[in-house]
Amino acid sequence: MKYEGYLIDLDGTMYKGKERIEEAVEFVKQLEKEGIPYLFITNNSASTRQQVTERLQNFDVPVTPDHVFTSSMAIAEFMKQDKLGKRVFMIGEVGLQEAIERNGFEFVEEDADYVVMGIDRRLTYQKLERACLEVRKGARFLSTNKDVAFPTDRGLVPGNGALTSVVAVSTGKDPIFVGKPEPIIMDMAMTKMDLPKEKVLMIGDNYLTDILAGMRAGIDTLLVFTGVTTTLEDIPPEERPTHTIESLDLWDIHL
C-alpha cells in the first residue's frame, strides 16, 4: 500500500556513528521532494531537538526542528498531560533539561512531583540517592527509555535503562518508560503527524525498539538491515515486521 507519512529512527537507520547512510539520506530527500511528511523519532534524551537537527543537516538530510521528536520531548509532554504537578527532580543531560523547562516545569531537590531519568554521563551516587528518596516519598517515577546499552566507538556502554534499574531495584517501584518500544512516544508522534495509523509506516533498524514500538502502537513497520537487527532468524514468525528491506534505496514510496 502507499503510505502517506513516515516515522523514522536515527542511529542505525539514518547514520552509524559519524557516518551517514547514503541510501537513507537519499530516501528522505525523495520524501521531501514529493511532499510526503516525515518525523524522526529517537530515544536519545541527551541532545536537544536543535542539536539533533544540526547533526542531520551536517549529513545533508533535509530537516528542521519540526521534523524531530525525542524521548525528552515525549516525557515532557507526558507530564504536561498528566497534570500531577510542576516540581521535577531530574537525572539527565541538556536535552532532557531543555524539554522539561520549555514545558513550564521547575527543577527541585526535594518534594518533587516527578522523578525523571534520562542518560546522565555525570551521574553520581548523590543523584541516585535523591531520586530513590523522592520516589519512596511518592513522586511519580518516569524514564525516557529502557535501553540497557548503546553502541559507541569503544563498544557497548551502559544505557539509560541500566541506570534507571538502580532506582527501580532500590525502591521496588517500576518506572513509566516513555521512549521506544513503548507506545507512548509513538502515539504522541502520530498526533503530530495527524494521519490515520494505517497510512503511516515506522522505519527502523532495531527490532527490539523501533519495530516493537510500531507494532505496539498498531502501525505498519519496515525493518531495514543497516544497523542492529540484520536477520529475522531470532524473531518469531507471528511477531515479524510488516516489511523488511536491505537498504532504503530499495523502497518505492509510490507503491
Catalytic positions are 9, 11
Phi, psi (deg, nearest 5) at residue 145: -165, 160
Number of Cβ within a 10 Å radius of residue 123 = 16
Phi, psi (deg, nearest 5) at residue 156: -75, 135
Contacts of 171 (CB under 8 A, 6+ apart): 132, 135, 136, 141
Counting Cα atoms < 13 Å in the Cβ hemisphere of 28 gives 25
**What's the farthest any 2 CA atoms get from each other in the chain?**
55
The gap from C-alpha 185 to its chain's centroid, in whole angstroms, comes to 7
Spatial distance between the Cα atoms of 117 and 72, rounded to a whole number of angstroms: 10
